[in-house]
A and B are shown apart, each in its own frame.
Chain A
Amino acid sequence: MMEIGLNHYLVLSTILFAIGLIGVMRRTNLLLLFFATEILLNSVNIAFAAISHFYGDLTGQMFAFFVIAIAASEVAVGLGLLIVWHKRHNNIDLEHMSTMKG
């Protein structure tokens, strides 16, 4: 109970990942969908850092750095696209983006 091991961190990471997945599935506003994506990326980062610590290996931290870089560029491009869409259609709900639906 008092000894915090690797499993504690993995369970925490899983809980956060589940919260992020729930957010991805129930949100329709695209901006809030991006928030849920950030939660997913962060939960994986915790798992990487924990494995890196408990195995004495730095590879996990390296992966976490690249995940952070990818998250930052995703936000930049995604918000740019969102602004363009909002200028044209004046809302950012997912239901209005079904023009390519088969």
Chain B
Amino acid sequence: MFEAIAFYLFSFLTITMFFITVTTSQALYALTALAAGMIFISAFFFILGADFLGAIQIVVYSGAVMALYAFGMMFFDTTREVKEKNGNKYIVSGLSILAAVLVVVIFAAPMVTDNVTALYPMVEGAGNTQEVGMVLFTKYLIPFEVAAVMLLVAMIAGIVLAGKKMDLSITLMNSAEIRHAKEEKSKRILS
């Protein structure tokens, strides 16, 4: 009963928020609606008993990703109205519905055959976080490490791409060169 109420309430809220995200013409509204939708999605994870996943969803999406987007929006001109692509509406909606039906088929295909067995069944008497730890650090250890390397590569790429003057190293320059670089910078700002 309460599960049904929570499910319908949060599905309504999530769909509304994501609909606002894709239809609004203000980038700031899109950002806030997306953040709200991410938090509402974590409610589904809590309903489904995946507590750790829900906590990760809140921390990573509404914490890290949204902060990164908000930081990125400071670089861009977000106050003006966003232009929309005026394509053929029927083609766009037809393709969307086709792709969505395809997703349902993909998810329903193993269930129709009805021979799905649990590969790593839930352990009795252990919390969700404990179960996740047990599976993640035994069966999925190598993907976990690869994901760690991938995050490191992404971090370095982000720093190098967004950083300024990455070719200069202040620790390798003497004071005269640093003063020279500073003067050039101020000259460029004044001119």
Chain A positions 48 through 90: 1 when the CB is less than 8 Å from some CB of chain B, otherwise 0: 0111110111110110111011111111110111111010000
Partner of B92, one of A4, A25, A71: A25
Which residues in window 49-98 of B have CB below 8 A to A? 49-50, 52-53, 56-57, 60-61, 64-65, 68-69, 71-73, 75-78, 82-85, 87, 92-93, 95-97
A22 contacts partner chain B, Cβ-Cβ < 8 Å:
yes
Interface of B is mostly: helix
Which residues in window 13-72 of B have CB below 8 A to A? 14-15, 18-19, 21-22, 27, 30-31, 34, 37-38, 41, 44-45, 48-50, 52-53, 56-57, 60-61, 64-65, 68-69, 71-72
A12 contacts partner chain B, Cβ-Cβ < 8 Å:
yes
Q: Complex formed: what's the CA distance from A100 to B61 in Å?
A: 33
Give the number of residue pairs across the A-B interface with Cβ within 8 Å.
225
Interface residues on A, range: 35 or more
Interface of A is mostly: helix
Is A56 in contact with B30, judged by CB distance below 8 angstroms? Answer: no
Shortest Cβ distance from residue A95 to the other chain B in the assembled complex, whole angstroms: 8
Shortest Cβ distance from residue B85 to the other chain A in the assembled complex, whole angstroms: 5
Given A3-B4, A82-B72, A35 and B31 touching (CB < 8 A)? yes
| Inter-chain contacts of A70 with B (CB < 8 A) | 147, 150
Q: Complex formed: what's the CA distance from A21 to B95 in Å?
A: 9
| Inter-chain contacts of A10 with B (CB < 8 A) | 104, 107-108
Q: Complex formed: what's the CA distance from A35 to B73 in Å?
A: 12
B181 contacts partner chain A, Cβ-Cβ < 8 Å:
no
Which residues in window 129-174 of B have CB below 8 A to A? 131-132, 135-136, 139-140, 143, 147, 150-151, 153-155, 157-162
Is A46 in contact with B120, judged by CB distance below 8 angstroms? Answer: no
Shortest Cβ distance from residue A63 to the other chain B in the assembled complex, whole angstroms: 9
Residue pairs across A and B with Cβ atoms less than 8 A apart, 27 shown, are: A3-B4, A14-B104, A16-B18, A17-B100, A18-B97, A19-B22, A22-B92, A32-B82, A36-B22, A38-B61, A42-B41, A47-B107, A49-B44, A51-B107, A53-B48, A57-B121, A58-B132, A58-B135, A65-B53, A65-B136, A68-B56, A68-B60, A70-B150, A77-B154, A80-B162, A84-B162, A94-B85
- Shortest 4 CB-CB distances between A and B: which pairs? A80-B161, A23-B22, A73-B154, A57-B118
Q: A12-B11, A57-B122 are in contact. List 5 more A-B contacts (CB 8 A).
A: A21-B96, A39-B37, A59-B120, A72-B151, A76-B155
